[in-house]
Amino acid sequence: MTGVAFEEAVAQRSVERVPLSHLSIELGHLYMEEFAGGIDSMRRHFRRIAPWAQSAARTVVTKPGGNRPRVSTCFLVDDYFSRFSTPREVIPMLVAAAEESGLVIDYLARESGCAVADEVPLAKLVEQALVTDPVPGSNGIRPPTTETGWLCNGQRSPNSIAIPAMADKGWLPPMQNAANRHSIFVDVELWDLENGSRRWSCPFLAAVWQLIRLGLLRHNGEVVTTPWQVEELPDDWDKLPAVVQLNPGAAAFSAYRTFSVLGSRFLQVELAVRTILNQVSIDPTVLDQVFARMRGENMELPKELVDRIDYVFIGE
């Protein structure tokens, strides 16, 4: 009887649905060094990315009987690793610089909102959803990711000092799981400690950011980081919601697929993001919702999460 009751409880569990666009286009990130260049630096950025963002929007084609294309844009501001200026000063400059290149920023997000948003610890939720890729022949000597703060896509090179029995075998290389002929081994730092507290890494927060944009995160069945419209921009980043809707007529913030136009310096970060996302377990109920809606719109989506994420990397 206990098993039956448990199954009924799971079946009846309520999981909130999130509105979805067809495509979410990220128009870039703003860090302190970019802001130091003033509005001229922002203008140069949007001029470079405009052709790519506009081309991405044109790729959204719905099948006969489907809904009209829904595309939204977003922009991420770093208020996690460094604080600079204020929302009241920064946001109007970004909006004006984008408009000069024919772009509209529908949503603006704070990077610290990828760690904690509306008192919900998003980064911790994603860490708890990690299912690390099992290593063939693993002997269990490696501590879990939640203890070390490191995640990889295979077998690290063994430490012969720590494992005396392997000393006579000499050096052994790291090895990627399911490598295609040759390994591309990736080891990602998820967090470190600052004044005794965790400081989440840029790749890990970027992985959370992708999950938010894909509408795949829930907390106790509820949607996280609902975009808010604000009547007046504050002078403190902490007083700004995690995601702000700047365009009242925008399509939904989250989407079936994401596309990001980024500087080439983000290439390594996004490789780490994909390594992380390959080991995140998404709530099956949420996935069922997404695929049911997809079928209702006569759409096709890749089964693998990372295959719904696309990029263009451009030189500075």
Residue 267: the pLDDT is 93
Query: For 288-298, what is the mean pLDDT?
Result: 91
Quick check: 307 pLDDT over 80? yes
Facing residues of 223 across strands?
Answer: 218
Query: For 78-103, what is the mean pLDDT?
Result: 95
Give residue 184's identity as a one-letter amino acid code: I
User: Which residue did the predictor score with more confidence, 182 or 253?
Assistant: 253
Express each pLDDT in 46-87 by its tens digit: 999 999 999 999 999 876 666 789 999 999 999 999 989 999
Facing residues of 218 across strands?
Answer: 223
Given pLDDT bands bounded at 50, 70 and 90, which one contains residue 9?
very low
Residue 168: the pLDDT is 56
Query: For 275-292, what is the mean pLDDT?
Result: 94
94, 247 contact by CB (below 8 A): no
292, 286 contact by CB (below 8 A): no
Least trusted range by pLDDT, from 55-59, 184-188, 228-232: 184-188
Residue 4: the pLDDT is 44
Quick check: 7 pLDDT over 50? no
Query: For 148-175, what is the mean pLDDT?
Result: 67
Quick check: 296 pLDDT over 80? yes
Q: Secondary structure of the chain in the HEC alphabet?
A: CHHHHHHHHHHCCCCCCCCCEEEEEEEEEECHHHHHCHHHHHHHHHHHHHHHHHHHHHCCCCCCCCCCCCEEEEEEECCCCCCCCCHHHHHHHHHHHHHHCCCCCCEEEEHHHHCCECCECHHHHHHHCECCCCCCCCCCCCCCHHHHCEEECEECCCCCCCCHHHHHHCCCCCEECCCECECCCCEEECEEEECCEEEECHHHHHHHHHHHHCCCCEECCEECCCCECCCCCCCCHHHCCCEEECCCCCCCCCEEEEEEEEEHHHHHHHHHHHHHHCCECCCHHHHHHHHHHHHHCCCCCCCCHHHHEEEEEECC
Quick check: 251 pLDDT over 80? yes
Place of tokens 């997809």: 294
Residue 128: the pLDDT is 94
Element spanning 58, H or E: helix 38-58
174, 154 contact by CB (below 8 A): yes
Q: What is the pTM (predicted TM-score) of this model?
A: 0.88
Query: For 125-149, what is the mean pLDDT?
Result: 73
Sequence ranges of the domains in the chain: 19-128+192-314, 145-185
